[in-house]
Amino acid sequence: MGFSYNFAEKLGVEDRGLLTSVSFDDVTLLPSSGAVEPDEADISTWLTPEWKIPLPLLSSPMDLVTGVSLAVSLAREGGLGVLHRNCSIGEQVQMVK
């Protein structure tokens, strides 16, 4: 049996089914035909109540993981590259430019 965790219970907030986690053991995917065509699927996600990104991918803010090229590539495809903070403000500004 897999691991699941109810974050709502831990946080003391109302559980609306959004704060429960599951692991790979809790989910089984079986091949079959679907009712939704791939070009009709919406995989976008809300990062905040006001900000929606089309591709639900965020990179790790680690200096050896996310550099400028990965952040730019993710942004161009609709994801979000989170730059690390292991440099000066001036260097961060140059990365964003």
Residue 38 located in a structural domain: no
- Quote the domain boundaries for residue 12: 1-27
Q: Domain count of the chain?
A: 2
Q: In this structure, is residue 36 part of a structural domain?
A: no
Q: Per the domain annotation, does 44 fall within a domain?
A: no
pLDDT digits (tens, 9 = 90+) for 52-93: 999 988 899 898 888 889 989 999 999 998 888 888 888 888
- Domain shared by 58 and 95, yes or no: yes
pLDDT at 1: 47
C-beta separation of 79 from 58 below 8 A: yes
59 & 94 share domain = yes
Residue in the block written with tokens 């089309």: 54
Question: For 20-59, how does the pLDDT look when each residue is reduced to its tens digit (9 = 90+)?
Answer: 667 788 888 888 888 888 888 899 988 888 989 999 888 9
Distance of CA 72 to the CA centre of its chain: 16
Cβ contacts of 4 within 8 Å, gap of 6 or more: 20, 21, 22, 23, 26
Q: In this structure, is residue 41 part of a structural domain? A: no
Confidence of residue 17 (pLDDT cuts 50, 70, 90): low
Contact indicator for 72, 49 with CB cutoff of 8 Å: no
Q: Output the pLDDT for position 95.
A: 84
- In this prediction, residue 2 carries a pLDDT of 52
Q: Say what the pTM is.
A: 0.56
Report the distance separating Cα 69 and Cα 48, nearest Å. Answer: 25
In a domain, 1, yes or no: yes
The answer as to whether 23 is a domain residue is yes
Q: Is 92 part of a structural domain of the chain?
A: yes
Q: Report the amino acid identity of residue 57.
A: L
Q: Which residue has the tokens 């903070």?
A: 85
Helical H segments across 1-97, by residue range? 7-11, 68-77, 89-96
Same domain, 22 and 58: no
